[in-house]
Chain A
Amino acid sequence: MNLDLQFMAETFIDVLHGIPVTFQIVIVTLLVSAPLGFLMTVTKLGDGRIGRRAAAAYVSFVRGTPVVLQILFLYSLLPTLLNYLIKEVCGLSYNIFTVNPILYAYVVFILNTTAVLSEVFRSALLTVNKGQMEAALSIGMNRFQAYVRIIIPQALTAALPNICNTTVNLLKSTSLAFMMTVKDVTAIAKIDASFGYNYLEAYLVIFFIYILLCSLVQGVFHLTERAAAAYKKPASVRNARRVFS
């Protein structure tokens, strides 16, 4: 088996142009999903029964169906549906089929990531014992202040490893965006490969690229975790044991 190294080198350069698109999907998705996911967490932990049920149903639906299927479904449904709405309901002449397909990618990944993050945030909030909330109230802080200053910072620290996982998973699943004709890393590799049927080489190249990108994300999170968890690091035992005399 001979690998076409020349082709691999060219593909590598080509594929680098897809990285901004890949990261764009990841970052936009996270920026939108984080607040939405947090809202959903609040709904889940709240008193409203209907809200709780709806949130639970949403999460189990999104997490219980394959992303590929969601993409196929949304990508056949959304454009047609939007086209119908624009043409028939609003009477406008905008051609929905020319819209940047990355928007559909956003929709799919935001739907998924919101569900995942809502679970991540929920379990993280529950790791902060409620005594600290009571202590905050007892010295005159209100609930909002206690959440912002005491509870959420600790919950976020606890959630960082899971947020890292979520981000890495998201990064990997952006490779499905080619199904919606988004020109991300995977799509570019496939296009390059299709001319000379060098699929194997192209896939090897993007394997490497994805490993690199994922390691990068994990590295960034690792540093963040270390900085955020400074308050958990016990001083030397001797210090901690020295008692007031």
Chain B
Amino acid sequence: MIKAIPFALLLLLTSWQVTAMADAADSVKSPLGYGSKNYVWGKMTREQADILRLTGDAKRGKEAFRGCRGCHKADAAGIVDGTYPRLTGQHPSVVIKQVTEVRAGVRINPKMDPFAAEHAVSKQEIADISVYLATLETTRENGKGPDDLSAKGKAVYKKHHCAKCHGDNGEGEEAKAFPAVAAQHYGYLLREMRHIKDGTRGNSHPEMVKVIKPLTYNDLEAVADYLSRLPDYRLATKGDKK
């Protein structure tokens, strides 16, 4: 009898996990995330603050990143259809914010969960991985949109003040944990913007939701295409003295 109970529980948990995963592709709202009563963007979890105080080491990070390579790939370039985002050159503060907020249940990511959870990766390892990823060059082609909509996308990006946070070259900002978005896979960018628009990206910046809400699906496609065709921001800003 005693043995039978945990087994039943396990079954329940497993089926819950599978449903959650299927749904995630099409938006699950986090009870703690954007839109919930006490949501404050950028309110750091204890864990996030702890990790930001640690000194990361790229060599150790490379080793710890092994457990991530199965999805994000050995070169951390993700996959072209955007199911798995590119992580090369992402700001350490952003990597730390995203992983810890997935762990805290603010951003929902059941696919990644068991491989990035507290029991799988330590705080120090997250600090190490974040430093390691920032050192990686992007060598593989990223996924682009089916048609070149970059002119329209650029106009939307300008008009709706995206550059205020993501920068003129899609470079984001390390100090504020604004993600770099240039040269990311089209499929990933489009999916995230859809989730930001419908309020299901748990850790959305409320100011960003305001500017993305009025955009049409065609606008989002155009912006995603534009950003996917920008070069890695580290190339774009090299020698940029302005």
Task: State whether these chains interact.
Answer: no
